[in-house]
Homo-oligomer: A and B are copies of this chain.
Amino acid sequence: MAQRTVSRRTFLSLAGATAAARPLMAATGSWGFDEPTASAATPEWHDQGVLNLAHSPYAKLHNVPVRAVTIEDGFWSKRRKTNVESSIPSMHEELLEHGRMDNFLRLVGQSNAPQKGPVYSDSDMYKWLEAVAFALQTEDNAQLHDAAQTTIREIVAVQEPSGYLNTYYQDDRKKLRMTIPEQVRGHELYCLGHMLQGAIAYYRATGDPTLMNAGQKFVDGYLLPSFGPEPDKKPIVSGHPEIEMALIELYRTTGERKYMELAGYILQGDPRANLKPQQIVYMNCGVPFTTKTRLQGHAVRAMYANCGATDYYLETGDQAYMKTLEVLWSDLTRAQMYVNGGVGARSEGEAFGEDYELPNAQAYGESCAAIGNAMWNWRMLAATGEARFTDVMERALYNGINSGMSLNGILYCYRNPLAFDPTTGEKIRNPWYDTTCCPPNLERTFASLPGYFYSTAKDGLYVHLYDNSKMQWKLESGNGIVVTQRTQYPWEGAVRMTVAVEHPEEFTLYVRVPGWSRASQVAVAGKPVSGVRSGEYVPIRRQWSGETSVELAFDVTPRMVMANPAVEQDTGKVAIERGPIVFCMEGMDQAKGTDAKTFPLYLAKRDGAIQGEFKPDVLDGVMVLTHSGAKRMESVESLYAPAGAEAGKVEAAELKLIPYYAWDNREESSMQVWVPWVG
C-alpha cells in the first residue's frame, strides 16, 4: 500500500480532540476551579494518560492520553459500550442501594441510614468514580458527569478540617483512626489511595480538581504532619497496598515530590509497627520492598505493592527495586500465573500458593488480582519497553480480566476458576458482592482501555494492542501523528495500520509481535520487514511522511498448550488457545447422550487439527472451535480403582470450545479449560 498525502486538517483536529471530549465543561461556561500545584513542565490535565510518565526519568515509554485513542467497532467496542451504558450506571444504583453514599450523607445529617458495608466501603465509590472519569475521557455523558459531580460534592462535604475523610471511622471508632491495628485491617490508606486515583482520573477527564484537592488535603493536613519516619511521627502500615501508586501519581500530577517520598517511606516498611511475620507476608508490606524474594500472601495486595514499587522505580531508578521486581516477575511467569493471566490460587487468604500450585476448579484468581497483574505489567513495560510484559498484560486482559464481567455487563466474577462443576451449587457471576472491589475495578479497566494501546518514547511510538481504532496524538518531538488500525483481531491475525504524520520525521515505530504468534509478518508500505520475532517489538526505523501503511499478520492457528509438569493439577491435560484467547468447554455445548456425572466430563485428543469458525450469533460473536475428543459415558463412583478400568467408559465425541472469557453467560453448565487427553 502506497503512502497517501495527509491533509493538514487531520492534524489541526488533534488540538480539538481534547476539547471535543469536554463539552460539559464548555456548558458550565467557566471552571473556576483551583488549579492544582503542578510543575510548569507537567502536561496539561487533558494530555495526561492512565499514568502521567511525561517526567518520570526512568520511564522508557510514556502513556498517551486515553482520549487520544478511539476504539471503533470491533472486539472491545461492545464491551466498552455495555460498560458505560449498563455496568457503570447499574453499579451506581447498587452502590446507592447498599448505602455506600448514605455512609457519607449520614455524617452531614442528610441520611438516617446506619453505616453499611465493610471497613473499605468508601473505596467502592472511589473506584466507581474512577470508572466514570475514564469513560468521560473518551466520551460525553451528561448523566455520568452529573452523577460524578453529585458524588464528589457529597464526598468532600464530609471532609474534616484536618483533612481526614473516611466514613467508617466515625463516632466510637474515631479513636481507632490510624492506630496500628486499624492500619493493619482498616484500609484507611487503601481508601485514600483509591480516592486519589479516582480524583486524578476525574481531573484528567474534566480539569476539575475538587476531589483531588480533597485527597491532597488529607495527605497534607492529616497524614504528613503526624505520620512518617521521623521519631516524633507515627509509623505507617500499608495494610492493603494501593496508597503507594496513588501517591506517586499524585506527585506526577502536582509535581510535589513529598508525595513520592512518602510512597518511598511506605514501600520501605516502618519497623516500629512491629508486625507479625504472617502479617507482613499477607499484607505485602512492613519490610523493605527490596527484601522480597517471591510472590506470596494476598494476591491483590502483592500486585498493588508491585505497582507502587514499579512506579517508585520509574521516578527514582533505584536498581534494587528493579532487581526485586524482576525476581517477582520471574516468579509470576515461572510458577504462579494461570493460563488466563489470573493470579492468587488460594481462596484461603485470597493468596498465592506454593510454586506451581494452580488448582483449576478451586482457583481463586480474583478479578482484582488479574487487573493488578495487568497494571503491574503495564508499569514494567513503561520501564523497559519489553514485550514480555505486554504479553502478560494481554493474556490477563483478554482472559482472566475479560471473564470478570458478564457479556450483559451487570454480573461480575469475584473468583475466576478454570473449571466449574455446577453440581457444587456455587454461583460465580453475581450483580453484587458486599466486598464489591471487583466490579468497579473491572469497569475502570475497560473504561481506560484506549490508554493502553500505544506509548510514546523518545525515539518514536510503540504499538501494544490491536483493535479497530484511531489514535490522534503527537510524537515526543511534538509532531502530530494519526494511527489507524483495521483488524478482526483477536479472531484473525491480520492488522492493517496506517501511520500518518503531520511533518516528515525519522522515528521508530515499535510494533508488537505477540509471543503466541509462531509465524508473523510485518510489511511497511507493502515491503516486508525482516527480523520479525515473536514476543518482541519490531523496530521500524525510517523516515515517515504522509500516510504509510503498516501491515501485520500473526498466526492465529489454534494451539494446544501444556503446563509445566510441576503443575500437578494440569498433568495429562491440554488447554487450547487461539491468538490471545484461551478457550474452554462448556458442557451445554457438547454432545449429550450420557448421564455421567463425573467431572470433567470431556476429554480431548492430543493430536489433530482444531477447527475454528466465527459465530456472530453466539455469545455476542465469538470464534467457536471444534476438536475431536471423547465424552465420559458412566459416572466413576470409586475414589481409587485399578488402572484401565476407566478406559471403556468413554466414547468418541466432537468437542466444542468457546472463549474462556465468555463462559457462564448462558444457562448454568460445567466448564473446563484444562482438558484431559485421550488417544
B632 touches A565 (CB 8 A): yes
A573 touches B574 (CB 8 A): no
B564 touches A598 (CB 8 A): yes
Binds B, one of A54-62, A306-314, A447-455, A640-648: A640-648
Residues of B within 8 A of A639 (CB): 333-335, 337, 563-564, 567
Indicate whether A422 reaches chain B with its CB closer than 8 angstroms.
no
Bound Cα distance from A567 to B632, whole angstroms: 15
Indicate whether A348 reaches chain B with its CB closer than 8 angstroms.
yes
Residues of B within 8 A of A339 (CB): 640
Indicate whether A561 reaches chain B with its CB closer than 8 angstroms.
yes
Which chain A residues (418-438) contact chain B, with CB distance < 8 Å?
Answer: 419, 421, 424
B362 touches A565 (CB 8 A): no
A562 touches B337 (CB 8 A): no
A337-366 CB contact bits vs B (8 Å, 1 = yes)?
A: 101000000101100011101011110000
Indicate whether A568 reaches chain B with its CB closer than 8 angstroms.
yes
- Pick from B561, B599, B637: contact of A334, CB under 8 Å: B637
- Pick from B572, B637, B644: contact of A573, CB under 8 Å: B572
Bound Cα distance from A337 to B640, whole angstroms: 10
Which chain A residues (122-158) contact chain B, with CB distance < 8 Å?
Answer: none
A638-679 CB contact bits vs B (8 Å, 1 = yes)?
A: 111111111000000000000000000000000000101100
- Pick from B333, B354, B632, B641: contact of A561, CB under 8 Å: B641
Contacts A362-B353, A571-B676, A572-B573 given; does A599 touch B566 at CB 8 Å:
yes
Residues of B within 8 A of A637 (CB): 334
Indicate whether A98 reaches chain B with its CB closer than 8 angstroms.
no
Indicate whether A560 reaches chain B with its CB closer than 8 angstroms.
yes
Bound Cα distance from A40 to B642, whole angstroms: 52
Q: Who on chain B is nearest to A573 by CB?
A: B571
B362 touches A640 (CB 8 A): no
Indicate whether A569 reaches chain B with its CB closer than 8 angstroms.
yes
The listed residue with most B CB atoms (<10 A of its CB), out of A348, A361, A568, is A568
Residues of B within 8 A of A424 (CB): 354-355
B560 touches A642 (CB 8 A): yes
- Pick from B569, B572, B636, B676: contact of A676, CB under 8 Å: B572
Bound Cα distance from A632 to B571, whole angstroms: 14
Indicate whether A288 reaches chain B with its CB closer than 8 angstroms.
no
A357 touches B359 (CB 8 A): yes
Residues of B within 8 A of A574 (CB): 643
Q: How far is the CB of A281 from chain B (nearest CB, A)?
A: 13
Residues of B within 8 A of A346 (CB): 348
Bound Cα distance from A237 to B588, whole angstroms: 47
Bound Cα distance from A677 to B640, whole angstroms: 16
A419 touches B568 (CB 8 A): yes
Q: How far is the CB of A376 from chain B (nearest CB, A)?
A: 17
- Pick from B563, B598, B645: contact of A640, CB under 8 Å: B563
Q: Who on chain B is nearest to A600 by CB?
A: B565
Q: Who on chain B is nearest to A335 by CB?
A: B639
Indicate whether A606 reaches chain B with its CB closer than 8 angstroms.
yes
B643 touches A565 (CB 8 A): no
Q: How far is the CB of A291 from chain B (nearest CB, A)?
A: 18
Q: How far is the CB of A485 from chain B (nearest CB, A)?
A: 27
B360 touches A568 (CB 8 A): yes
Residues of B within 8 A of A568 (CB): 359-361, 419, 569, 674
Q: How far is the CB of A437 from chain B (nearest CB, A)?
A: 21
Bound Cα distance from A632 to B419, whole angstroms: 28
Residues of B within 8 A of A677 (CB): 572
Q: Who on chain B is nearest to A518 by CB?
A: B642
A291-335 CB contact bits vs B (8 Å, 1 = yes)?
A: 000000000000000000000000000000000000000000111
Q: Who on chain B is nearest to A575 by CB?
A: B640
Q: How far is the CB of A651 from chain B (nearest CB, A)?
A: 15
Bound Cα distance from A146 to B599, whole angstroms: 58
Q: Who on chain B is nearest to A333 by CB?
A: B639
Indicate whether A116 reaches chain B with its CB closer than 8 angstroms.
no
Indicate whether A559 reaches chain B with its CB closer than 8 angstroms.
yes
Q: How far is the CB of A282 from chain B (nearest CB, A)?
A: 12
Residues of A bordering B, CB below 8 Å: 333-335, 337, 339, 346, 348-349, 353-355, 357, 359-362, 419, 421, 424, 559-569, 571-575, 598-600, 606, 632, 636-646, 674, 676-677
Pairs A–B under 8 Å by Cβ, sample size 7: A339-B640, A354-B361, A359-B568, A561-B640, A562-B641, A562-B642, A565-B600
Known: A560-B644, A568-B674. 7 other contacts (CB 8 A): A357-B362, A419-B568, A562-B642, A562-B644, A564-B640, A564-B641, A566-B598
Question: Which 10 residue pairs across A and B have the least CB separation, nearest first?
Answer: A572-B572, A560-B643, A348-B348, A568-B569, A571-B572, A562-B643, A561-B640, A571-B676, A566-B599, A564-B636
